[in-house]
Amino acid sequence: MLKEYLIGIDIGGTKMEAGLVASSGKILLRRKVKTPLKCTKKEFVLSVVNLVRELIAEGDISIKEISGIGIGIPGVIDPVHGKVLLITNLPLTGINLATELRKSFKVHITVGNDANMAALGEHRAGLGRNAHNIVNISVGTGVGGGLIIGGKLITGSFFAGGELGHMIIQMDGPKCTCGKKGCLEAFAGRWAIEKEIRAAVKKGEKTVITKYGQGKLKSIKSRLLKKALDKHDPLVTRVIKEASKALGAACVSIMHIVDPEYIILGGGVIEACGDFMLPLIRKAAESDPFLSTVSGCIIAESTLGDDSIILGAAAAASPDR
């Protein structure tokens, strides 16, 4: 039997999505479920196993036709062994996800950081297809990053490379989830944007967000931010402008370090608010006098969206990679 398919899985803080990927790189079929959060490691693994089984059943194929399964998750991963070294929002720290899944599926299994997988996806099937050096920035609840240098994914000597969200943008700036101050994520991650809006509302500032969210500001989804931007809401506009400026500053640093052909931005915040943010990000990056003379780097929004993780994970799991 020909092994002609790959499976790519994007495991996020709210949903997990698996895609059946053809050797041509096309996603043929997909299945999405809610990420189980309040469960044991064993139960979590079982839910991933079930997701794969359901996808295979729906595709009416056999596991024998699958040549590899790749997984992208938001944490620090040892991609050589498939071990989850550190993850804050899923019950998986310390687990060897590849070994666990191999008990159910006797195929090649690769596990990697989701933003790294997204960078691979962009390099295989997105804007960075023919490029040597590309950088991916995923702006969602947090901010992730992935570096492709000389056509290769760079994860560093201790697998913590490419964590662009924790690049310091402002010394002694706002506190970040990692314990440092002034990280990119503390300006541009959705949690930071939400925090800023909540603090301003507490001080008495008005925003249409309270109306849309029926006064509740517990969670402000990206599409609500977009709605507020469309209404020219002053508070949301100011906060998103600051986030964009921080991303622009990050792009300048990235261009100085890597000098890539593309910096590709994706993630929920960019998907919703990219039209507003990208021109500001580019403007901040273009203000660098040195780079504006020598760099031809293109800063662009991902054309693949979340599919970049599925496609990148599938590519990473390909045995002939």
Comparing CB distances to Zn ion, the nearer of 178 and 201 is: 178
Please say whether the beta carbons of 116 and 153 come within 8 A: yes
The two three-digit tokens of residue 190, written as one number: 């959705």
- Choose the binding region for Zn ion from 32-40, 182-190, 216-224, 291-299 (rule: CB under 5 A): 182-190
Please say whether the beta carbons of 140 and 165 come within 8 A: no
x/- letters, 201..220, toward Zn ion (CB under 5 A): --------------------
- Choose the binding region for Zn ion from 125-133, 154-162, 178-186, 261-269 (rule: CB under 5 A): 178-186
Comparing CB distances to Zn ion, the nearer of 187 and 262 is: 187
Q: Is 166 in the site for Zn ion (CB under 5 A)?
A: yes
**Contact set for Zn ion, span 183-202 (CB under 5 A):** 183
Element holding 198 (H helix, E strand): helix 190-202
- Choose the binding region for Zn ion from 85-93, 104-112, 160-168, 252-260 (rule: CB under 5 A): 160-168
Cβ of residue 140: shortest distance to Zn ion, in angstroms? 15
CB under 8 Å, gap of 24 or more: what pairs does 204-209 form? 205/235, 206/235, 207/233, 207/234, 207/235, 207/236, 208/233, 208/236, 209/233, 209/235, 209/236
Comparing CB distances to Zn ion, the nearer of 179 and 204 is: 179
Cβ of residue 176: shortest distance to Zn ion, in angstroms? 3
Please say whether the beta carbons of 127 and 278 come within 8 A: no
What is the CA angle 66-35-307, rounded to 5?
Answer: 55
The single residue among 61, 178, 258, 280 that binds Zn ion, judged by CB under 5 A, is 178
Residue found by looking up tokens 């550190």 in the block: 86
Comparing CB distances to Zn ion, the nearer of 180 and 283 is: 180
CA distance 70 to 82: 10
Comparing CB distances to Zn ion, the nearer of 176 and 193 is: 176
Which residues bind to Zn ion, rule: CB under 5 A?
166, 176, 178, 180, 183
